Structure 1
């Protein structure tokens, strides 16, 4: 594909051969780059069933000898939920379950692109900082591709996610600090040793992998685009990618609109929302982030400029939800739809509930970005208790009677 790199801050256009990560004029925070497609394919076909994300190769900045991770990524299911839509007053509602990717999260789409680029550069070691999902994605996909991964996580990351990293054979650095401190540390070490970066916003190619999620939605819905697209927000790359995927489909003449993109943040980690509402996108507001939704507990978002600009361009906005609302959303989402999302994934559902009254009669798609099995401890805090019984029918009946089932 013919493409160039454009700085979202100063507008400078770069040849991909001249710049790898960010605009040298604007620096790593504001110099986030956009992949600009030179010419959109005229008659693309999308074989999601056999190719997954690579069905969109004509829309991706791939090298001629690009490497495809030998695990099936993408073509995740989308479920129409008419009864739930009716209950919320919506015309239609779809749930896009990306917890069904190989390592259980949306991040596999981005990692596939990072690995492809690293292979083209003949670099065998990739690093990243992560609160969990990007880390497990990198660990799993590099293992499948015969590569090495060095991963920096806050030591507070859920045990299930850290275990995933170790199972895949990653080298794990559990940092006694925040995600943001782990991020800065990873950049310093990664640059020193010449490893390839899989850090959000720093690497513009990650968003290109992530945009395939919304492109899939377009194909799966026969190019009939919902009015709203709702997704949780941490660093800002996923919400930006949702817009970019829908935009690319419209620019190629395959669809007639871009949905309003709604970014959902945890109340204790809503730095992107605060920046958006300030109106000064080039002056990010950083905070000390805390949330049960570890995947979006980011206080110094790296893709804040892109997220704010593109959500605004879509006509969308940001909302925040409490940890209590997220916890209840995990349970309600599972019981209403059968989809078990981790806290960050269920945050999107909590966000929908918050705005439902203001979008009556409209259609919406929710992106569930991670599988609930990644953080069962958080979900367990919002479930009912186990009924312990003796191996005696009478004891079972006594319990059933007590809880009103007989």
Structure 2
């Protein structure tokens, strides 16, 4: 929410992952010929324009333990797609709900400037056990580990492979080795059997000033937003039935709305799950949100503080729920390296417009994992291991405060959208120590 459709920031170098996920005891390596130890069995490449060269590489040094691997290269051709496939032993054996990790060591011998991706798919980009992918643009010609943990959502098929997305334009020359797909035991939220440790309710005659404050003013808020935030009851009030109502209003001077925050009043500790039932407004440019920011934002700034968008709606697409996690690029605390709406689980279609009924939006976070939920069903899962390996920071081991707002997005024609538009929020419940389901 701090940035609207933020452009991808420059990608940085990688660090080896920490101990946040370990291979499941007895788990088999699913990649058939991970390092091309003897030959190129199971390795192939194709492109819309080419040709691409696939050669066995020996004497590899300076990075992974393996001395053998594969060299993938192409001259100056360009086309719509290019990829390499690494065959799996049992490609259809993915278990829905099981956690896996895919990884590969990669060295772009030409240095920075090209983007590579790691995912699971057939050559036709089908039969995917997960929509999760990791894209990277190495900053130098050293070896880098590209890795991503995921929860399988489908079983795969006979032609599912470890899929390396290759640059589509111009030449490239890359060495890869250590291709791996394994079942892993990854950190997950604990389950708690008690009631919430705290409930932020909306009863009484007025919004509780011991819990909620207001962000006030206009200025676009870093996103080109069109509204001015106020503390007027016309924009934020209690409805008398246990709900908070935040309303965006069109006036002769523009738009007014409200952004409520618990900054300096209430924080959510790491290791907690927080949720709220929300009926969200729709309509072109209407942008409701329920989100969290790191409590140290005034010290470290954004995005270094971390941001968790439990819910964002884009009113012109009224059935879509979007979630995101924002964090900084390592060594560059002002550069956003988000896991955004395009990630697996980052966008959920709930079928009916968001103003048709309420939905429960939640997020769990701690020093190792973040998991988003819609109606208590997990959507996007993230791990610190992957973030650190991809050059991100992981700021979610500290407390966060809550925000609720309805923005009016700039650059969108909302002449056909009738105002006022109201977001209705039920009590916000917080469980310390895990999720209650």
Normalised by the size of structure 2, how large is the TM-score? 0.21
More strand by share: 2
Higher gyration radius (CA): 2
Considering Cα pairs closer than 8 Å and 6+ residues apart, tell me whether 1 or 2 has the greater RCO.
2
More helix by share: 1
